[in-house]
Every structure is written in C-alpha cells, then in structure tokens.
Amino acid sequence: MSDLLLSAQHLTKRFGGLAAVDGVSVELFRHRIHAVIGPNGAGKSTLANLLSGDLPPTSGTIQLLGVEVAGKSPERISSLGLGRSYQKTNIFLPFTVWDNVRLASQARERHAPWNPLHWLSSAGQMRAVNQRCERALELAGLSARASAVAGTTSHGEQRQLEIAMTLATEPSVLLLDEPLAGMGQAESQSMVDLLKRLKADHAILLVEHDMDAVFSLADQLTVMVNGQVIASGTPADVRADPNVQAAYLGEEHA
Amino acid sequence: MSTPKPQIEILPRGVQVLLAVGAVALAAFPLVPSESAGFYQQMVTQMMILAIFAMSLDLLQGVTGLVSLGHAAYFGLAGYALAFLTPADVPISLWWSLPLAALGSGLAALIIGFFVVRTHGIYFIMVTMAFAQMVFFLFFDNRALGGSDGLYVNFRPHAELFGWNGINLDSNIGFYYLTLVLMLLVYAFLRRLLFSPFGRVLAGIRVNEHRMRAVGYSTFGYRLTAFTLAGALAGVAGYLWGAQTGYVNPELMGFHMSAHAIMMVILGGTGNFAGAIAGAFAFEYVMHLFKDFTKHWQLLMGSFIVLVVVFAPRGLMGLAERVLGKRKIP
C-alpha cells in the first residue's frame, strides 16, 4: 500500500464571487506532517472544511485512501478514516472528559440506530470502545482529568480534548486546525511533542499560526494567501522563497 | 451554551429514594378506602397515562433536543386504532391490540419523521405541528373516520391470556394497575435506553450535532429512530386513554394536546423521564385544584407555569435535586 493517504487536487470553493479556496492541491503521506500557513482569511480553515466534508467543494477531487470523497458528508469521510479537530473548540461541554472521548470512540462501532440491542445494552461496558478511549486520553495527556466535566476544564485541556476525541476514532489521516491556538508555553510544548509522536502512525495536515511550532514540526509546508498556494515545499525552501517573504513572513524574516 | 449544565440525566440518591416512595404510594393508593375512591382512581390513572405520554415526548425534547409540537398525533392515532379494532359485539384482547396500536403510531411517526427530522430548530417545531394538523383534519373532516364527533370504543379490551383472566380491566382498580405497570415499564425502558449506546448518541446530538457528524455518526438515522420510538410510546398512552374513557375524538391529536405534553415536560424538568412523570402528575393535580376553585382556572394555570419556569428553571425535578442534595457524577 502506498503511503499517500490523502490527495486533493485543484480544490476550489467559491462563495458567490469570492474564491475562498482557489485551485489548491495538497498531498498527505504517512509519517509526515504537512503544515499549511498563511495570514488570516487565506482560506486555511475553508480548505480543512473541504477535506473534512463540512463544506462541499465547488470543484476538484479528494482521494482518501483511494476513495473519492469530494462533497461527501462529514460522517462518511470520518468513517473512512479522516479525523479532524477544530480551531474553535467543538466539544460536548456538559459531558465529562471521559464521555466526550467515549462518544467519539463509540462512533467506530458502526451501530445501526434501529437495532434494539443497542437500546438496551450499557454504553459504559463496551470493551473495545473503552480501550480506544483510554488510549486516546493517555496519548493526549488527559487521563488524570477523565472525570472532569468538559466545560469546567481549562482552555489548554479543552484543546487536548479536541485531539483526544479525534484520536479516539482511530483515523489514518489527521486534520488539525490550529491545535496550539491560545495555549501557554508548557502546554504548547507538550502538544508539539504529541504531534511528533502521532507522526509515527498518521498522515497529518496541520493548520497553525505558531511559526516556531510549524518550523520544528513540518516536513512539508504550504503557504496560502487569498485562497491560493503561493509556495509549497520543504520548510527550508519555503523560508527562502521571496514571494513568501514578501507576502507573509514579511518584516520578521526579510 | 456558555455555562455548562451538569449532566441532566443522572438522578441523585435523594431523588431516587423519592421516586421509589412514589411508586410504592401509587401501588398502595387503590387500597385506601374512600367514598369517592372510584373518582380518584380514575384521576390518577389518567395522570399515569399522561405521564407515559410526557415521557415519550421527553425522549425527543429532553434527550435528543427535538421539540415536537405535533406529538399528540401519535397519541391520538393509537386511540383511534383501538376504536376501529374493537367490534360492536365483543371486547378484543389487550395482548395483541396494544402492540398493534403502538406499532401503528410508530409507523406513522416513521413516515412523518422521514420528512421532519431533516429539519432543525424552529423549522422542526413548525413542520411537526403542520403534519399533526394534517392528521387532525384528516379525522376531523372525514365522516368515515368519526368526524368532529369522534368515535366510541365499544368495549374495554380484556387481558385474558391462555384461559387466565387475573386482571379485570373493566374495573377501575384493574385498569389502574395495568396503567401503573405500563408506566413503570416505559420508565424502566427509557432509563435503560438513556445509558445505552443509542441513548448516549441521542444526548450527543442534543448537545452538539455538528461534532457528532464529524466523529462519524450518521445522525439522520438516530433522529428518525428516536422520533419513531417516541411515536410508538405516545401510542401506548393514547391506546390507554381510549380504553379508559371509551371515547376518542380529534382533540386527542390536536394542537392543545401537543402543547399540553410540552408543558408537562417543562414543568417537571427535561431529559431524565422522572421529570416528565412528576410534571404530568403536578400539572393534572394543580389543574384539578384550580378547576374546583374557579372557572377561570386557565389564568391561574398560566401563572403557575410562569412561576415554576422563573423560580425552578430546570423544573420540579431540578428543584428536588437542589433540595435533596448535590448530584454526583460517576
């Protein structure tokens, strides 16, 4: 099997006259982190929404593990092996941390809702579900907080929970939308360490603003401005690209 | 949702004890001698029937977050099913007619649900109401279906099974105990369902459907199943209503009946089924008091609901939880 897990070609998303994403192609390989950077409004989150199925693309193709998924529903894309975390924390606030992750993990059981067996069995006693849940919590460093109500945890913990829920569905491709947003120094460092570990089994698309983290993590870097890719390559190549320096890294790196 | 509410489905110890006491009291109630025992037995039977109806709505409203303003359609349909199934000369058996009537309501909910569960929020409320009004006028305007006068249920069903006939449903007491057992069974079933894999998904849909889809749940099937199940359980209540009163009319499927269910659930507290039962009992009892007191009882009833909503935003169950001690999250 090829290590190319996701290949998106010429993706375009138009909102009326505005092309939020304009002819963007990305390829994600196992063991590699592909970072997407760009100023606010560059279309990074829209790109993530196209890949996860939250938005249908206007045109273009997306192959996920060999299956064409452009325009498919988020639940279909998720069950094919893409896990996504959100930039704006998107969790179940009234539930405990454990129940948040357990619910994500349960999705992989593919129960039929109309099967009465699943109306009467106990949700807490599904061994495979609990195992996935424990593993995801441990990876995300949240095991100690399992019984806390999600809405009462710190911002950093909620970001970790985002990741844990994504991991609990055991995806092959990870789509992480600004996992470091609003994190403190220590929290950031442990998240960076986690992403390095996750690289071992996953293909990762990382949308991130934190440049230190991006340059320490990325194997490949794509720079977007106004919906278009202006440069793509290794971090060193991109750093040297004059277009990028002008458009984005600007005053810092020029 | 900025301030997280604790998990509404977990009942603290004190509330559980209170519920057990309530169940025992209901079981003992017909044994209390009284001159007007028959009247009160019928009244409490009616409360228990409405409690089943309220619980069925709570599965949608409190658990899944779908506020249906047309739930009475499924209540009324099962009552009509009983009226049509009962011939003019002999009573029919409870054992097949109740499941059949509930199945009929469930089927109607499945068909209507196929269209309505695609909608969200205010649209869901409007569309459920629109379908219920269609069902209402189908019966209201059709002589063959009883028209605006409704239909008589010629006989109460009997509970004979393989020659055994231990429960006399024609007596107030027999019917009371049948209703009590069914109410407890529905409660036990729904509580069990609440903590099942299916129930957890419904709760997830209520809290954050977007995320449910993002982790891979096809939420349409879950919403439709919940809608169908709630319709079938409303059918159990509607069947009992028809059997008790011996009479069904389009009002049973009307807008007022649907709103009645919503108010009972809100009054009692949503999302844990115990609140729905408490709400049904409290609503009927307070209404009874006000009706005795004045013919303008609706004014008092309205004020009562407003007071409860203002001072006990999570209903009577929420109030009981506050009084009987802090909830514990396992």
Give the tens place of pLDDT for each residue, B272-328.
Answer: 999 999 999 999 999 999 998 888 888 999 999 899 888 888 899 888 888 876 655
Sheet containing A18-29: give its strands across.
A18-29, A4-15, A59-64, A67-68
Please indicate whether, in this complex, the C-beta atoms of A123 and B329 are within 8 angstroms of each other: no
* A125 CB within 8 Å of a chain B CB: no
CB B280 within 8 A of CB B268: yes
CB A60 within 8 A of CB A71: no
The ipTM (two decimal places) reads: 0.92
- Tell me the residue length of chain B: 330
**What pLDDT digit, counting tens, does each position of B131-168 carry?**
999 999 999 999 899 889 999 999 999 988 887 777 88
Task: Say yes or no to pLDDT of B9 above 90.
Answer: no
CA dist list (Å): B165 to A208, B30, B94: 73, 20, 12
* B109 CB within 8 Å of a chain A CB: no
DSSP secondary-structure letter at B221? H
CB A81 within 8 A of CB A64: yes
The DSSP H or E segment spanning B236 is: helix B219-245
Helix%, strand%, coil% for chain B, nearest 5: 75, 0, 25
Chain B partners within 8 Å of A121 (Cβ): 196-197
DSSP secondary-structure letter at B198? H
Chain B closest-CA separation from residue A16 CA (Å): 24
CA dist list (Å): B108 to A214, B69, B78, B252: 55, 15, 10, 16
DSSP per-residue string spanning B42-109: HHHHHHHHHHHHHHHHHIIIIII----S-THHHHHHHHHHHHHHS-SSS--BHHHHHHHHHHHHHHHH
Q: What is the mean pLDDT of chain B?
A: 92
For residue B177, the tally of other CB atoms under 10 A from its CB is 18
Please indicate whether, in this complex, the C-beta atoms of A74 and B198 are within 8 angstroms of each other: no
In 3D space, the residue among A189, A171, A168, A191 whose CA is nearest the CA of residue A179 turns out to be A191
Chain B closest-CA separation from residue A95 CA (Å): 6
Which residue in chain A has the smallest CA separation from B194?
A119
3-class secondary-structure state, position A24: strand
In chain A, positions 134-153, which contact chain B (CB-CB < 8 Å)? 147, 149-152
Contacts of A164 (CB under 8 A, 6+ apart): A97, A100, A101, A104, A136, A137, A139, A140, A142
Chain A partners within 8 Å of B219 (Cβ): 75
Contacts of A43 (CB under 8 A, 6+ apart): A13, A20, A21, A22, A24, A224, A226, A227
CB B199 within 8 A of CB B191: no
Chain A partners within 8 Å of B208 (Cβ): 90-92
The mean pLDDT of A57-73, rounded to a whole number, is 95
Residue with tokens 């305007």: B141
Domains of chain A: 1-81+171-254 (3.40.50.300), 91-170 (no CATH)
The mean pLDDT of A150-158, rounded to a whole number, is 92
Q: What is the pLDDT of residue B36?
A: 86
Question: Which region, left, alpha or beta, applies to residue A31 given φ > 0 means left and ψ of -120 to 50 means alpha?
Answer: left
Could you say which of A52, A93, A118 has the minimum Cβ distance to residue B197?
A118
| Bridge partner residues of A4 (DSSP) | A29
3-class secondary-structure state, position B6: coil
Please indicate whether, in this complex, the C-beta atoms of B195 and A123 are within 8 angstroms of each other: yes
* A104 CB within 8 Å of a chain B CB: yes
Distance, CA of B310 to CA of A230 (rounded, Å): 57
* B326 CB within 8 Å of a chain A CB: no
Task: Say yes or no to pLDDT of A59 above 70.
Answer: yes
Chain A partners within 8 Å of B213 (Cβ): 73-75, 78
Distance, CA of B301 to CA of A222 (rounded, Å): 64
Q: What is the pLDDT of residue B104?
A: 98
Question: Which region, left, alpha or beta, applies to residue B164 given φ > 0 means left and ψ of -120 to 50 means alpha?
Answer: beta
In 3D space, the residue among A252, A188, A246 whose CA is nearest the CA of residue A217 turns out to be A188
Tell me, what amino acid is at A69?
V
> How many CA atoms lie within 13 Å of A49's alpha carbon, on the beta-carbon side?
17
**What pLDDT digit, counting tens, does each position of B23-52 carry?**
999 999 999 888 888 899 999 999 999 999
Please indicate whether, in this complex, the C-beta atoms of B218 and A103 are within 8 angstroms of each other: no
Distance, CA of B301 to CA of B312 (rounded, Å): 16
- DSSP H helices in chain A: 44-52, 74-79, 97-106, 117-120, 127-139, 155-168, 185-198, 211-217, 235-240, 242-244, 250-253
**What pLDDT digit, counting tens, does each position of B166-188 carry?**
788 889 999 999 999 999 999 99
Tokens of A126: 């599904």
CA dist list (Å): A113 to A160, B25, B219: 29, 37, 9
Chain A partners within 8 Å of B222 (Cβ): 113
Distance, CA of A84 to CA of A91 (rounded, Å): 12
- A27 CA to centre of own chain: 14
Q: What is the pLDDT of residue B320?
A: 86
CA dist list (Å): A180 to A42, A91, A189, B264: 18, 16, 9, 46
Q: What is the pLDDT of residue B254?
A: 94
The mean pLDDT of A135-162, rounded to a whole number, is 93
* B217 CB within 8 Å of a chain A CB: yes
CB B212 within 8 A of CB B109: no
**What pLDDT digit, counting tens, does each position of A164-173 carry?**
999 999 999 9
Interface test with A, best of B103, B215, B223 (most A CBs within 10 A): B215
Q: Is residue B299 classed exposed, middle or buried when 0-12, 13-18 and 19+ CB atoms within 10 A define those classes? A: exposed
Which residue in chain B has the smallest CA separation from A51?
B214
Tokens of B280: 């049904």
- pLDDT class of A74 with cuts at 50, 70, 90: very high
- pLDDT class of B2 with cuts at 50, 70, 90: very low
- DSSP H helices in B117-214: 121-140, 172-194, 197-214
Task: Say yes or no to pLDDT of A147 above 90.
Answer: yes
Task: Say yes or no to pLDDT of A25 above 50.
Answer: yes
3-class secondary-structure state, position B302: helix
Distance, CA of A50 to CA of A84 (rounded, Å): 12
* A172 CB within 8 Å of a chain B CB: no
Q: What is the pLDDT of residue B7?
A: 67
* B328 CB within 8 Å of a chain A CB: no
Q: What is the pLDDT of residue A242?
A: 87
Chain A closest-CA separation from residue B104 CA (Å): 17
Q: What is the pLDDT of residue B270?
A: 93
Class for domain B13-27+41-323, per CATH? mainly alpha
- pLDDT class of B1 with cuts at 50, 70, 90: very low
CB pairs under 8 A between A and B: 117
Q: What is the pLDDT of residue A248?
A: 64
